[in-house]
């Protein structure tokens, strides 16, 4: 079905496709705001889902098209309410952020008067402690892949890089062959908002990446992967996606007897936690993780504090 949106205040029926408006917003995020491809995909998915709610649940968008004035704060609240129980609060908050940003975009370009999401409070997020693995569990996970087939070598290299550098799955996806300085043991990472940072990489990870590149040399030549420069590739020679990276981690976590909820972000959490446990200062960990605000990094200190409290309770005479 083709969605049409009636301009809310001009007489005469200036009509615009809702999907065209969404596409224009996505182009704006990519070209003017510099959002990462991962964030852009999420925003686009969120807005298409909201459009589906308007069409299927609310019955908006008949033959005469969807009038923007029909989308009011009550409609948005109803949509957000329909998501509770189906997904986490953080996911709902992200979907709401996409809607609010979309209407702000329309408002600034004269396509909408006011923002129906402007006065709606962001859903309160649950307070949670980041999941992480113990050092022993990380080693169990990393030792699980074989060391013979190209896929085994690739998966081992991904695990080593995730734990050695503490980078996001989306950042692993965008790594190219020239992203790693093998002599200096440094990795150039493109993070959120296309911001670049340099992070160190351990010798074990360097060795794993070298073995992987050697083991996939013929695949790269045959599939033309050298042309696109991607570091981690699938068997077709294309760049490995974030979703595929997540599946790889879950598969080895399950095979290692660990929780199937283990994800690439769990490796990132483990990286930060183990650094802090080892005595790293918070500012350094902030730089390594690429956090804009120190408060984002501080959530990782809970593990160290728990450990310190345990030691304190066991050893202090007046604990």
pLDDT at 66: 53
Distance of alpha carbon 80 from alpha carbon 84, whole angstroms: 7
Q: Report the mean per-residue pLDDT for the chain.
A: 82
Domain shared by 99 and 150, yes or no: no
Q: What is the pLDDT of residues 170-180, one digit of tens each?
A: 999 999 999 99
Given 192, 223, 299, 302, which residue is catalytic? 192
Domain shared by 69 and 184, yes or no: no
Domain shared by 47 and 92, yes or no: yes
Given 7, 268, 269, 274, which residue is catalytic? 268
Answer yes or no: 274 catalytic.
Answer: no
Answer yes or no: 283 catalytic.
Answer: no
pLDDT at 181: 95
Q: What is the pLDDT of residues 140-164, one digit of tens each?
A: 999 999 888 999 999 999 999 999 9
pLDDT at 109: 84
Domain shared by 67 and 165, yes or no: no
Task: Give the pLDDT band of residue 247 (cuts 50, 70, 90).
Answer: very high
Q: Does residue 175 belong to any structural domain of this protein?
A: yes
**Least-confidence region, from 92-96, 111-115, 179-183, 280-284:** 111-115
Given 291, 292, 312, 314, which residue is catalytic? 291
Domain shared by 25 and 94, yes or no: yes
- What sign results for the dihedral spanned by CA atoms 31, 35, 39, 45? negative
Answer yes or no: 7 catalytic.
Answer: no
Answer yes or no: 265 catalytic.
Answer: yes
Answer yes or no: 217 catalytic.
Answer: no
Q: What is the mean pLDDT of residues 93-102?
A: 91
Judge contact between 300 and 269, C-beta under 8 A: yes
Q: Does residue 103 belong to any structural domain of this protein?
A: yes
Q: What is the pLDDT of residues 210-222, one digit of tens each?
A: 999 999 888 887 7
From 89, 108, 127, the end of a domain falls on 108
Residue 70: give its domain's CATH number. 1.10.150
Domain that holds residue 239: 135-313
Given 197, 265, 299, 302, which residue is catalytic? 265
**Least-confidence region, from 9-13, 217-221, 236-240, 256-260:** 9-13
Answer yes or no: 192 catalytic.
Answer: yes
How many domains is the chain built from? 2
Q: Does residue 125 belong to any structural domain of this protein?
A: no
* CA distance to 52, 113, 223, 240, per residue, from 210 (Å): 46, 56, 19, 18
Measured N-to-C along each axis, helices 37-52 and 89-108 cross at an angle, to the nearest 10 degrees, of 90
Helices (H), 32-116: 37-52, 73-83, 89-108
Task: Give the pLDDT band of residue 242 (cuts 50, 70, 90).
Answer: very high
Domain shared by 201 and 294, yes or no: yes
Domain shared by 143 and 226, yes or no: yes
Highest mean pLDDT among 28-42, 47-61, 155-169: 155-169
Q: How far apart are the first and last CA of the chain?
A: 68
Given 7, 132, 154, 168, which residue is catalytic? 168
pLDDT at 9 > cutoff 60: no
Which of 170, 169, 166, 229 shows the shortest CA–CA distance to 198?
166
Q: Does residue 268 belong to any structural domain of this protein?
A: yes
Judge contact between 212 and 268, C-beta under 8 A: no
- What sign results for the dihedral spanned by CA atoms 251, 143, 238, 47? positive
pLDDT at 213: 94
Domain shared by 142 and 90, yes or no: no
Q: What is the pLDDT of residues 265-277, one digit of tens each?
A: 999 989 988 888 8
């Amino acid at each position: 079905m083709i969605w049409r949106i009636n301009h809310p205040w001009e007489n005469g029926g200036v009509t615009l496709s809702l999907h065209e408006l969404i596409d224009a917003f996505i182009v704006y995020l990519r070209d003017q705001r510099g959002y990462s491809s991962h964030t852009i995909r999420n925003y686009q998915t969120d807005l298409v889902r909201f459009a589906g709610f308007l069409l299927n649940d609310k019955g908006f968008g008949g033959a005469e098209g969807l009038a923007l004035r029909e989308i009011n704060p009550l409609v948005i609240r109803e949509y957000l309410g329909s998501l509770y129980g189906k997904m986490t609060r953080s996911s709902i908050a992200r979907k709401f952020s996409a809607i609010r940003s979309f209407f702000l975009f329309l408002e600034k370009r004269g396509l909408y008067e006011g923002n129906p999401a402007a006065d709606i409070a962001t859903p309160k997020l649950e307070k949670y402690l980041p999941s992480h693995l113990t050092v022993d569990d990380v080693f169990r996970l990393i030792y699980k892949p074989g060391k013979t087939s190209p896929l085994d070598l690739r998966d081992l290299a991904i695990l080593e890089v995730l734990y050695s550098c503490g980078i996001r799955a989306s950042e692993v996806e965008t790594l190219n062959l020239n992203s790693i300085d093998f002599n200096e043991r440094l990795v150039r990472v493109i993070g959120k908002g296309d911001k670049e940072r340099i992070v160190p990489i351990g010798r074990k990870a360097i060795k794993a990446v070298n073995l992987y590149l050697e083991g996939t040399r013929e695949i790269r030549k045959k599939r033309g992967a050298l042309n696109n420069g991607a570091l981690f590739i699938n068997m077709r020679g294309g760049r490995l996606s974030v979703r595929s990276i997540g599946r790889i981690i879950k598969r080895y976590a399950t095979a290692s007897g660990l929780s199937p909820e283990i994800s690439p972000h769990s490796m990132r959490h483990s990286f930060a936690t183990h650094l802090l446990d080892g005595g790293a200062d918070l500012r350094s960990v902030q730089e390594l993780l690429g956090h804009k605000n120190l408060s984002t990094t501080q959530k990782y200190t809970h593990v160290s504090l728990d450990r310190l409290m345990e030691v304190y309770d066991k050893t202090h005479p007046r604990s």
